[in-house]
Structure 1
Amino acid sequence: MNPSTECIDCKACMKGCLMMGEFTDSPKTLLETIKESPASVAFSCAACGYCAHVCPKDISIEAHFVKRKVELAPTELKNFGYRAVLFHQVLSFSKALTTIKTFRATDFSHMAFMPGCALSSYSPALVKSIIAHLQEACPGMSVLMQCCGKPTRVLGDIDRFEGFYSLLERDIDRLGVTTVVTACENCYMSLKTLSPQVKTLSLYKLLAQIGVPQRDFSEAKPVALHDPCPTRLEKPLHEAVRQILRTIKLPFEEFKFNRDKTQCCGSGGMLALTNPKLAREQMVSRAHQTECETIVSYCQECCSSMSRGGKNGVHLLDLLFDETVAKTLTQPKHGTLTSWINRYKTKRMIASLKG
């Protein structure tokens, strides 16, 4: 059945999606032609899930674009700088940038902490501080430095994605864990969706339970809290993050579009690669939906997007575990080379931890 027959053209999906506004003035018209949509349209979908969530008919335009991307990937991805993505993924799954670490303590040896690519690229010291905190509260929790492969999946290169993802599942099997704790929301959703044999637990939900380092931000200026779009339907995670902010007494304001109605930061769907102009517009649009100068999120890519959009993006984990950022409320900025070096340093640091 053509999805356009169900669409009532209420345009609710267009209110939070710049992509829709760029390519059509009618969701119904877009749906009528979606099976033949050109690559420039299909690969401009940020895959954020907003459309389906606000649609009174539960139509997921994203789901139809996912299918179209898979169809177009073999012939069209080369036109979107995909070689750089493959280079990134091959390195991300290489021995130089992946490792697993176990500890002598066995209390929590059924669990593994997975920091994710973005956090590892951003700050080895931050990852080390988080691991130390977890080892104190949950002795014996393993560490799994691996990629979830989302870039290849979201761009429709399913064969390569399945090959990459099998390496992650191999490492989970090698560790023999039943629970994976993730700091990255993309990793969280990937594992939750694709690896039902393990329990996926957000680091933020765990921190809300075991406690966080003592902080008092009661004198700080109010910040805005941005929810990453992969967490759209994760209500317990939303509340855990807010509980942590209340614990550290950080004054924060909510976006009008928050929690399940949150809007993409501009990095979803590898949009910066496939449609950099639209990605930039989305970053600016989202960042300026608040008057707060500082925007806190629990996704490193979202924090970077808010900074690119003209505001001051800061990761929640920085506020908890980095004394310098906690004092200045400013993240250090890194170039591409430094990010790769940081990932290598993170791997070396994890491998050198005393068991």
Structure 2
Amino acid sequence: MQITGCCRTNHKKFTSDDTVVYICNTCAAFCREDSAAKKVISVWELLENDKNFPFPDYGHRKMTIQDCWRVYDNEPQQKAIRRILQKMNIDIEESDDNFYRTRFCGTTLYESLPEQNGEFAPKRFIKNAEGLFQSHSEEEHGTLMKEHCDNIHYDEVVCYCIACIKGINLGGKKGIHLLDLMYGLETK
């Protein structure tokens, strides 16, 4: 496996013979819409099937899972994430806006769309984002994130997106990155 770095600058280098394994949901959109790669999968789908991965045991710790809008239509990734959480004995609470219903990505959807995102993945970031990417003030960000978090019952929220973690933390809950859980680390 070759590590290529951020897909924002490297996604055009992929060929039809390449399999792209991503952790960043924005990179996934770029690779699916603006690269020659025929196979694009999440690192979660890869790790979930790794029979040698030493999944830690969290003893049925209760957490909420936060799905990210950037992959609202990627059920294989979403299901792999839930199977990983099950392997780690984490009892998850599903929110009402999970899977394809999610419209959460921290404050990202309350900011202007980065030009390159629309250029490299117009289907994801323009066509399927109608009414999103509306600029709000930082004060409004705090209010919107608090309103979102008020609907979450558990204090710990598993995320697989950095923007989601920041939004959850801004809203008063503790966002924890799935990869940190898998390696027994504290999310910073």
Aligned equivalent of 1:95: none
Structure with the largest fraction of helix: 1
The secondary structure found in structure 2 opposite 1:260 is helix
CA deviations on 1:218-261 (whole Å, 9 max, x unpaired) are 242x1100000011111111111111011111111101111111
The list of structure 1 runs, each at least 4 consecutive aligned residues, that deviate by more than 3 angstroms after superposition, is 169-173
CA deviations on 1:49-85 (whole Å, 9 max, x unpaired) are xxxxxxxxxxxxxxxxxxxxxxxxxxxxxxxxxxxxx
TM-score (norm 1): 0.43
User: Residue 272 of structure 1: CA displacement?
Assistant: 8.0
Verify the 8 A CA contact 2:45 2:80 in the aligned structure 1.
yes
TM-score (norm 2): 0.78
CA deviations on 1:8-46 (whole Å, 9 max, x unpaired) are xxxxxxxxxxxxxxxxxxxxxxxxxxxxxxxxxxxxxxx
Aligned equivalent of 1:168: 10
Please, which of 213, 217, 239 is the counterpart of residue 54 of structure 2? 213
Verify the 8 A CA contact 1:271 1:278 in the aligned structure 2.
no
The root-mean-square deviation of aligned C-alpha atoms, in Å, is 2.2
* Sequence identity (%): 25
The secondary structure found in structure 2 opposite 1:143 is coil
Residues 1:307 and 2:169 are matched in the alignment: yes
Rounded Cα–Cα distance in structure 1 between residues aligned with 2:13 and 2:36:
15
User: Residue 286 of structure 1: CA displacement?
Assistant: 1.8
Could you tell me which runs of 5 or more consecutive residues in structure 2 were left unpaired when the two chains were aligned: 114-134
Rounded Cα–Cα distance in structure 1 between residues aligned with 2:142 and 2:112:
7
Aligned equivalent of 1:275: 136
User: Residue 197 of structure 1: CA displacement?
Assistant: 3.4
Residues 1:264 and 2:126 are matched in the alignment: no
Verify the 8 A CA contact 2:11 2:34 in the aligned structure 1.
no
Residues 266 and 299 of structure 1: CA distance in aligned 2, closer, same or farther (over 3 Å): closer
Aligned equivalent of 1:293: 155
Q: What is the total number of aligned residue pairs between the two structures?
A: 165
Residues 1:181 and 2:21 are matched in the alignment: yes
Verify the 8 A CA contact 2:108 2:163 in the aligned structure 1.
no
CA deviations on 1:192-241 (whole Å, 9 max, x unpaired) are 12224342111111111224322111242x11000000111111111111
Q: How does 1:228-267 map to 2 (within 5 A)?
A: 228-267=68-107
CA deviations on 1:258-277 (whole Å, 9 max, x unpaired) are 11111313322462893234
Higher-Rg structure is: 1
